[in-house]
Chains A and B, each alone.
Chain A
Amino acid sequence: MSGPLRALAGLALAAGATLGVVGLSRVPYAEDRGAAGELRLAWRWKSERVRQCRKLSPAEVAKLPAHMRRAEDCQRGLRPWRLVVAVDGGAASDDTIRARGAESDRPLFVFRRLPLVPGSHAVRVRFSPVGEGGPAAVGLDTVVGIAARRVVLVTMAEDTSRLVFRTASP
């Protein structure tokens, strides 16, 4: 290869490598393909403390080290809640939301993403305490319009007493 030809090839390669860097720095990529929208449920919920105790049998007490013997075994933590979501009359989600943390004493966090085709949808959300007693359930029955590639967020209102939906960022 002659000198000028080599210089030209060297320049072309260097320019190609630079174009490669530029090209790889702007590769078109879609995080979510398609035109579907999304129903997103997200809120924080401070559940109430519950304590469930049961009496230990004499045999169970005897198994415990002397300094740890007690009459009752109590499980403590925050009450779990059940989340049921129906869209257009069909069940979309049915889960129990439990408190986080080793002692189950952190607030409950709801985060669900449900893809939906664009259009109007009847959405029914029911968030109710699990177990005996407890506060009243909260719910939302509404019709939401979901546009292509947009999110309808169902979240707890500021006063944490009712669910609301939102279509624009706060």
Chain B
Amino acid sequence: MAHRITDGLRQPLARVDAALNRLYGWRYNPLYHSGVLAASLLAVVMLTGLYLVFFWGISAPYASVEHITTRVFLGRFARSLHRYASDAAIAAVAVHLARVWLQRRTWGPRVLAWLTGFLLLGTIWIFGLTGYAMVWDVQGLALVREGARWLDALPLFSEPISRAFDGERAMPGAFFFLNLFAHVALPVALGVLFWLHVSRVARPHLLPPRGLLVAAVGLLVAASVLLPVRMAPPADVLALPGAAPYDLFYAFFLPLTRGLSPWAVWLAAAALVAAILLVPALTRPRVEARPPSVVDERSCTGCEQCWLDCPYEAIRMVERTDGRPYLVARVDPTLCTSCGICAGSCAPMGVGPPGRTGKDQLAAARRFAAAHPAGGRDVVVVACRQSGGGAAAGELDGAPVFPVSCSGNLHTSVVELLVRSGAGGVLVVACPPRDCWSREGPVWLEQRLFMGREAELRSRVDPRRVRVVHAGEGERAAARAALRAFREEVRSLAAQAAEDPADLERECAEPPPVPEPLGRLVTR
């Protein structure tokens, strides 16, 4: 049921991704960079906030904001950018969470990132609410009153905090002091949560591509200059405000909750939290479907490449117990997401998820080659199941498709086998690198195929016969276009003669050469 929902909702997302890739290219698709965009926008919020806080006054909050807006040098601009960047950050975080959920990247070592992601969203939201209270206009008062109404239902305070906002007595100055403290302290919490958020992944991306960052901030700067924020009417506890501008990114709940009792609001919040906590359990596949990687210790040469390539730090290098003078890889099954990237990184094919190791792939590729005998100028497609390469259909515009769970799972020996079996060329259809469900599959694949990264494609394979194209789930047309172009190129090459690739299997079966002892235990 949960999988049907995510699969159904992912189709429109794939179409939007495809449209944005056509406009901006996958490198600058903002949806692929939603998480790091949010982090960058929060940095803008903090920088502008640092400037604004110098001019804000606890004793006269509204008047000081009015002073900032009308008198302070760049005050209106800084305030506008502060607001728009915080709004865009909320939107970016929401997009990021939706993507992660729909792509079911929420289980295993990613549970911590999922939970801290929601904590980050909640913290950013509260951060924004405290900011609006600092303005102390009609929206600030409405937000504060609604929050006080909810809190008063809980047995936490000896006196209802709503009293502070009903006009019975003057607004306590302590409220603005505490609110300022919260507004300034919350970024510290954001920093800790962000660190936790990326702590379980190797090589986390922290910044979007420079062009995208400049464009995003530039557009918000332009909006701040051309459409600056205006002052709303001041908060008046003895007035019923008419229509005023509200920020729906932060005040979206007001129309929903005002008619509800506080307990109904708390119940709804508890249900939402329960649903969020359940997502990792609901999206987790059965172990049989996604078994964790295992290491064949006899084949392991201790080269450390799987340890380097694993995107979730699920592999450690430990001392061997069989007396060989080098380390051996060890997989922590609780951290392994069964992405199979280690299988693609291991030249002697000694590691990987059962059924998807290099040896398993090679056996499957041999069967595939036998079932689809290729002419010397035919192209064979190898497609990641998440890409638009037609992995499910088994063919792409007449070309047979060899499916892999992730392009990073693909062992280069499979490409060599397909070429040496007589295929004129091999087109690998991978997801765009920033949209890889296993984080780094397409990056490692290209480096293994063309840049000599360990488990590299042997030099005896003509690189002109191998091509990688990035086409996401909704980009079948892009994959087809790449196939057409590649077919043309392959036709211009001499026909590839089929040869017996049996020695590939012999190479795999032979015991690996003993490398120089490393003499140290490597830990990360």
Contact = CB atoms under 8 A, between A and B. Distances in A.
Interface of A: 1, 6, 9-10, 13-15, 17-19, 21-22, 24-32, 36-38, 40, 42-44, 101-102, 106-107, 109, 111, 149-153, 155, 166-170
Contacts of A17: 219
B160 A22 contact: no
A21 B243 contact: no
A151 B159 CA distance: 23
Given A167-B238, A170-B169, A28 B245 contact: yes
A29 B254 contact: yes
Given A25-B248, A42-B168, A153-B168, A30 B84 contact: no
Contact of B249 (A1, A25, A149, A167): A25
A13 B19 CA distance: 11
A149 B239 contact: yes
Contacts of B335: none
A21 B87 contact: yes
Given A150-B238, A153-B238, A167-B238, A26 B246 contact: yes
Contacts of A26: 229-230, 245-247
Interface in B169-203: 169-170
Interface of A is mostly: mixed
B296 interface: no
Interface of B: 22-24, 83-84, 87-88, 91, 138, 142, 155, 158-160, 162-163, 166-170, 215, 219-220, 222-223, 227, 229-230, 236-249, 251, 254-255, 258
B160 A40 contact: no
Contacts of A169: 167, 170, 236-238
Contacts of A1: 22
13 contacts: A18-B84, A19-B223, A25-B245, A25-B249, A29-B255, A30-B242, A42-B163, A149-B240, A153-B166, A155-B168, A169-B170, A169-B238, A170-B168
Contact of B83 (A25, A155, A170): A25
B142 A31 contact: yes
A111 B223 CA distance: 43
Contacts, number: 131
A14 B168 contact: no
Contact of A111 (B142, B166, B238): B166
Contacts of B242: 30, 32, 149
Given A6-B22, A43-B168, A106-B159, A36 B251 contact: no
B163 A44 contact: yes
Contacts of A31: 138, 142, 240-241, 254, 258
Nearest to B23: A10
Contacts of B251: 29
A97 to B, nearest CB: 12
Contacts of B142: 31
B469 to A, nearest CB: 19
A22 B223 contact: yes
B240 A150 contact: yes
Contacts of A22: 84, 223, 227
Given A10-B23, A32-B240, A153 B167 contact: yes
A27 B248 contact: yes
B247 A18 contact: no
Contacts of A19: 223, 227
B246 A168 contact: no
A167 B236 CA distance: 11
Given A25-B83, A28-B246, 16 more contacts: A9-B23, A18-B84, A21-B91, A24-B247, A25-B247, A26-B230, A31-B240, A31-B258, A32-B240, A32-B241, A40-B166, A44-B163, A101-B158, A111-B162, A151-B167, A170-B170
A146 B315 CA distance: 73
A29 B246 contact: yes
A32 B244 CA distance: 11
A14 to B, nearest CB: 6
Contacts of A168: 238
A149 B241 contact: yes
B221 to A, nearest CB: 10
Contacts of B243: 28-30
Given A24-B247, A44-B159, A106-B158, A151 B240 contact: yes
A9 B22 CA distance: 10
